[in-house]
Amino acid sequence: MTDRHGDAATVVLLAALPPARAAQVWPIPSDPSFAGAVYPMLFPRDLSIFVERWSADYAANPKHGDRNGGRSVMYEWIEEELVPAPHHDGAVLMLFSGLTAEPGRPLLTWLLARPIVTERLFTRIFTTPGVKAASLAQRDLLPHGDGTIRTVVVPGLVKAGLWTRDFVVESTQSALRSDLSEYQKRWFASLARDLAL
């Protein structure tokens, strides 16, 4: 059986289920362009059910690669304004997890191409509590050659004009005063040093 056969079987299953049950089906179709089109076609008024469920699933278990794989297609729906940005913090965690793009320059390039996602979700990095296996501090500890979120992505968004330095300074100071964990606050303390605060 090929991936196409598996994708066809998944679509048949999805079409037979109500949206809340269909949002629990995994894996999603493996071809991102196909997955990006099939859900809006089958559930045009119910995409919010999917993005909220997928966000919650990610926050509950970021390491569940089989279930989480491919679900980053939801960001394309948000960028195309087919669905509002989800309220669940898992959407923010998944955004910088590597499912969309690797940290550093690849993530910066990805975010610059998606200003709506950047404005409505990525700005929430300053207020979103991390979970085990999904936090800014943990993500930036992993080795990668294209920089980190702190050293490349945040300054790159300011340089490109999507964020202002004042926004980053105020948001960083607010994060340091918040009830985020001390582990997360260390990441923001490093960002504050970068900003010469």
Do 185 and 172 contact (CB within 8 A), yes or no? no
43, 65, 74, 182 from 28: Cα distances, Å? 14, 12, 11, 36
Percent of the chain whose predicted confidence (pLDDT) is above 90:
76
76-131 pLDDT, tens digit per residue, is 999 999 999 999 999 999 999 888 888 899 999 999 999 999 999 999 999 999 99
Cα–Cα distance measured from residue 171 to residue 142, given in angstroms and rounded to the nearest whole number: 24
pLDDT of the residue at 197: 64
Which pTM value belongs to this model?
A: 0.93
24-46 pLDDT, tens digit per residue, is 999 888 788 888 999 999 999 99
**Does residue 145 register a pLDDT over 80?**
no
pLDDT band at 2 (very low <50, low <70, confident <90, very high): low
pLDDT of the residue at 34: 86
* Nearby residues of 29 by Cβ (< 8 Å), 6 or more positions away: 6, 7, 10, 11, 35, 38, 70
Q: How many domains in the chain?
A: 1
- Residue 33 is part of which domain span? 3-194
32, 35, 192 from 26: Cα distances, Å? 14, 12, 40
**Does residue 1 register a pLDDT over 60?**
no
